[in-house]
């Protein structure tokens, strides 16, 4: 990675390596003055995410975009835009459902939070107008012999403006892959549109296909994310989820893991938001 980053013919870097390498590679890109699109999570710990944040702050400009591609998904963006229009008044509750087919490997509650629910955490922070204040986690075991295993998990959020949130993860749905978001407001409710597929009405029933996994569901969002990043670089601008968003998503994840460890809600432990963001 160091040779690639140092190569004068390389203008920008997309980091899609294993999670544990994200922070160090991203910092190397920052120190080389090169824009970097780092796949989520920005790091595996809040401390490492803060190292990335402080490296970028030292340059005085944004170089980092974090790969929370749901911001580029039309269903999520349409919901966000409608909420911003004031159609349902002030947002009172955020709900997300993150449904997976059976994973090849069994995940712990820690990895479910930092690798899967991290997307939903960012969606909640992006869509809702106020910052997350605290998190409380409950989960169902995938295997009773493994007390940290997680088949289904739920993060309950409290926002600083009094709104609440619920992020549900299902790691073994038995039917496919789905991501849904719903926001309840003072004057109504907004839900993401169902993933488009033909509805078949036949023999007294209605059926519609569900995507088998995440690459099929978010293929276009990944392409749009990458193109938006490239376009921003060419304009000498920074757009999309920032290093601050990467840091704060991990701060929420950290509070969630502490909650999983203690069985109690936990407040975020985060630095004050820098003016760069």
Side-chain half-sphere CA neighbours of 123 within 13 A: 32
* pLDDT at residue 104, as a whole number: 60
What is the C-alpha separation between 142 and 160, in angstroms, rounded? 33
Exposed/middle/buried for residue 133 (C-beta within 10 Å: 0-12, 13-18, 19+): middle
Structurally, the chain folds into a number of domains equal to 2
- For the chain, which ranges sit under pLDDT 70? 104-105, 195-196
Both 80 and 12 in one domain: the answer is no
Angle between helices 46-59 and 243-262 (to 10 degrees): 160
Both 122 and 55 in one domain: the answer is no
Both 177 and 106 in one domain: the answer is yes
Both 170 and 233 in one domain: the answer is no
Domain with residue 210: its CATH number is: 3.30.360.10
Both 194 and 76 in one domain: the answer is yes
* pLDDT at residue 198, as a whole number: 80
Work out the widest C-alpha separation in the chain, in whole angstroms: 65
Owning domain of residue 197: 70-219
What is the C-alpha separation between 49 and 44, in angstroms, rounded? 8
Query: What is the three-class DSSP state of 1?
Result: coil
* pLDDT at residue 14, as a whole number: 98
* pLDDT at residue 194, as a whole number: 73
The H or E element that residue 79 is part of is helix 74-84
Residue 147 domain flag:
yes
Peptide bond before 41: cis, by omega within 30 degrees of 0? yes
Q: Please provide the DSSP assignment of 200-269 as one string.
A: EEETTEEEE---SSHHHHHHHHHHHHHHHHHHHHHTT---SS-HHHHHHHHHHHHHHHHHHHHSS-EE--
What is the C-alpha separation between 32 and 8, in angstroms, rounded? 10
The number of residues making up the chain comes to 277
Residue 271 domain flag:
no
* pLDDT at residue 196, as a whole number: 67
Residue 267 domain flag:
no
Contact yes or no for 64/52 (Cβ under 8 A)? yes
Residue 172 domain flag:
yes
What is the C-alpha separation between 276 and 228, in angstroms, rounded? 20
* pLDDT at residue 106, as a whole number: 74
Domain with residue 13: its CATH number is: 3.40.50.720
Both 201 and 75 in one domain: the answer is yes
Both 169 and 133 in one domain: the answer is yes
Q: Say how far residue 130 (Cα) sits from the centre of its chain.
A: 16
Under 8 Å CB-to-CB from 195, ≥6 apart: which residues?
75, 178, 210, 211, 217
* pLDDT at residue 105, as a whole number: 66
* pLDDT at residue 195, as a whole number: 63
Calculate ∠ Cα 175-119-158, nearest 5°: 110
Residue 63 domain flag:
yes
Both 113 and 194 in one domain: the answer is yes
Both 127 and 88 in one domain: the answer is yes
Both 154 and 174 in one domain: the answer is yes
Residue 260 domain flag:
no
Both 82 and 184 in one domain: the answer is yes
Exposed/middle/buried for residue 166 (C-beta within 10 Å: 0-12, 13-18, 19+): middle
Both 80 and 206 in one domain: the answer is yes
Residue 77 domain flag:
yes
Contact yes or no for 255/267 (Cβ under 8 A)? yes
Residue 251 domain flag:
no
């Amino acid at each position: 990675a160091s040779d690639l980053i140092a190569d004068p013919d390389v203008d920008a870097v997309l980091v899609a390596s294993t999670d544990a390498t994200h922070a160090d590679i991203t910092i190397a890109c920052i120190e080389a003055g090169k824009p970097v699109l780092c796949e989520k999570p920005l790091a595996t710990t809040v401390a490492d995410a803060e190292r990335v944040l402080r490296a970028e702050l030292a340059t005085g400009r944004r170089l980092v975009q974090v790969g929370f591609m749901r911001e580029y998904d039309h269903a999520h963006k349409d919901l966000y835009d409608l909420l911003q229009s004031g159609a349902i008044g002030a947002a009172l509750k955020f709900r997300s459902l993150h449904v997976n087919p059976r994973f090849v490997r069994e995940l712990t509650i820690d990895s479910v939070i930092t690798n899967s629910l991290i997307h939903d955490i960012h969606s909640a922070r992006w869509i809702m107008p106020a910052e997350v204040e605290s998190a409380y986690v409950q989960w169902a075991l995938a295997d009773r012999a493994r007390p940290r295993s997680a088949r289904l998990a739920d993060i309950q959020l409290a926002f600083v403006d009094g709104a609440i949130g619920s992020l549900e993860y299902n790691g073994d749905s038995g039917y496919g892959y789905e991501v849904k978001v719903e926001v309840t407001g003072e004057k109504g409710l907004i839900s993401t549109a169902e993933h488009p597929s033909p509805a078949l009405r036949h023999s007294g029933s209605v059926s519609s296909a569900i995507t088998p996994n995440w690459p099929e569901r978010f293929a276009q969002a990944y392409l749009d994310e990458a193109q938006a990043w490239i376009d921003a670089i060419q304009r000498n601008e920074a757009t999309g989820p920032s290093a601050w968003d990467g840091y704060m998503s991990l701060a929420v994840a950290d509070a969630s893991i502490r909650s999983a460890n203690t069985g109690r809600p936990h407040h975020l432990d985060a630095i004050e938001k820098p003016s760069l963001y």
